C-alpha cells in the first residue's frame, strides 16, 4: 500500500487565488512528521512546511498552511494568493517513528501551474 | 549560509562504467541522506548516515551501489557497472539531528546521471 498518496498529478490555479494540494498518508505509528517540499523546474527540493503528529494546531509558514486532519490521515497544503513563481512540483513526505533520523517517504507529487 | 552541495551536476557515462557522486552537507549537520528521483519510481530513499553510527543501507537497490561518509562530513555514492536503469537524479540531503521530529532535511541541487 502507498504510504503517501497525492491524487492530483496536475493542477491549474489563477494567479492571486488560493489552491489546495491534497495529501493522504498511511501509518500505524503514533509518532510521525509530515513535510511539504517544492521542486521548481531547476530541480532543487525546497522545504516549505512541517506538521508533527502531536501538534495541536495546523502549521503555517507565510502563504503556506497545512490543513491537518489526523483522523482522516490527510495533510493538505494550502497556498494563498498564488504567484507565478509558485509553478512547480509539490511533494508531500512523511517520516515515521520518533527517531528524527528516519528517512522520508514521498508521494508522487502534484504539478501546480499558476496562470497569469 | 552555504547549503548542501553536490557534484557533478550532470554525469553522462557508458553502461558498465563506475561513477562517483559527491555530496557536501550543510556544516554542522550530523545526518546525511541519499535519495534517487526517477520518472518511473518517483523519489526513493537509498542510504542514511548519522554521525559515527553504521549507515542505514536499507534502500540501496543492489550491491552495485555503495556509499561512504568520511570524517562525518562529505559523502560519496558509488555505482559500479552502471546500467541504463540507474539513470536518474541523485539527491543528497542533510539535517541537524537533535532527536526530535522537527528536524528538517535540506536537499542539494542533485546530480543528473545518464547511462548510455
Share of chain A above pLDDT 70, in %: 96
Q: How far is B113 from chain A (nearest CA, A)?
A: 13
- Inform me whether the pLDDT recorded for B52 exceeds 90: no
User: Minimal Cα distance from A95: which residue of B?
Assistant: B101
Among A80, A74, A79, which Cα is nearest to A92's? Answer: A74
Whether residue B42 and residue A37 make contact (CB cut-off 8 A), yes or no, is no
Q: Using an 8 Å CB-CB cutoff, list chain A residues near B31.
A: 100-101
Task: Say how far apart CA B13 and CA B82 lie, in whole Å.
Answer: 8
Gyration radius (Cα) of chain A, Å: 14
Strand spans (E) along B14-102:
19-24, 31-38, 42-50, 65-69, 75-79, 88-95
Share of chain A above pLDDT 90, in %: 83
User: With contact defined as beta carbons under 8 Å apart, do A51 and A65 qualify?
Assistant: no
Joined together, the cell numbers standing for residue A6 give 497525492
Q: What is the pLDDT of residue B103?
A: 78
User: Minimal Cα distance from A36: which residue of B?
Assistant: B104
- Bond from prior residue into A113 cis (ω within 30 degrees of 0): no
Average pLDDT, chain B: 91
Whether residue A103 and residue B45 make contact (CB cut-off 8 A), yes or no, is yes
- Which 8-state DSSP code applies to residue B100? S
pLDDT in tens, A46-87: 999 999 999 999 999 999 999 999 999 999 999 999 999 999
- CA dihedral over B12, B36, B49, B83, signed as positive or negative: negative
Q: What is the pLDDT of residue A35?
A: 95
| DSSP per-residue codes, B69-84 | EGGGS-EEEEE-S--G
Q: Using an 8 Å CB-CB cutoff, list chain B residues near A35.
A: 104-105
Task: Say how far apart CA A52 and CA B90 lie, in whole Å.
Answer: 27
User: With contact defined as beta carbons under 8 Å apart, do A49 and A66 qualify?
Assistant: yes
Q: What are the two backbone dihedrals, phi and then psi, of residue B89, each rounded to the nearest 5 degrees?
A: -100, 125
Could you tell me which residues are beta bridge partners of residue A76? Answer: A67
Whether residue A103 and residue B110 make contact (CB cut-off 8 A), yes or no, is no
Amino acid at each position: 500500500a502507498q504510504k503517501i498518496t497525492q491524487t492530483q498529478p496536475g493542477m491549474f490555479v489563477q494567479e492571486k487565488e488560493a489552491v489546495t494540494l491534497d495529501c493522504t498518508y498511511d501509518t500505524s505509528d503514533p509518532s510521525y512528521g509530515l513535510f511539504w517540499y517544492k521542486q521548481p523546474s531547476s530541480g532543487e527540493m525546497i522545504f516549505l512546511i512541517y506538521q508533527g503528529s502531536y501538534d495541536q494546531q495546523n502549521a503555517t509558514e507565510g502563504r503556506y498552511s497545512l490543513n491537518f486532519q489526523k483522523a482522516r490521515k490527510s495533510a493538505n497544503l494550502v497556498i494563498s494568493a498564488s504567484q507565478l513563481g509558485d509553478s512547480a512540483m509539490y511533494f508531500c513526505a512523511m517520516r515515521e517513528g520518533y527517531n528524527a533520523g528516519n528517512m522520508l517517504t514521498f508521494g508522487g507529487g502534484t504539478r501546480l501551474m499558476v496562470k497569469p | 549560509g552555504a547549503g548542501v552541495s553536490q557534484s557533478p551536476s550532470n554525469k553522462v557515462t557508458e553502461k558498465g562504467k563506475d561513477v562517483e557522486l559527491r555530496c557536501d552537507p550543510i556544516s554542522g549537520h550530523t545526518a546525511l541522506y541519499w535519495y534517487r528521483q526517477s520518472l518511473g519510481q518517483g523519489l526513493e530513499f537509498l542510504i542514511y548516515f548519522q554521525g559515527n553510527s553504521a549507515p542505514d543501507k536499507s534502500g540501496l537497490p543492489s550491491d552495485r551501489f555503495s556509499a561512504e561518509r568520511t570524517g562525518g562530513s562529505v559523502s560519496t555514492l558509488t555505482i559500479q557497472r552502471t546500467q541504463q536503469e540507474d539513470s536518474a537524479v541523485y539527491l543528497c540531503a542533510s539535517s541537524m539531528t537533535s532527536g526530535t521530529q522537527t528536524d528538517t532535511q535540506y536537499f542539494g541541487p542533485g546530480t543528473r546521471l545518464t547511462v548510455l
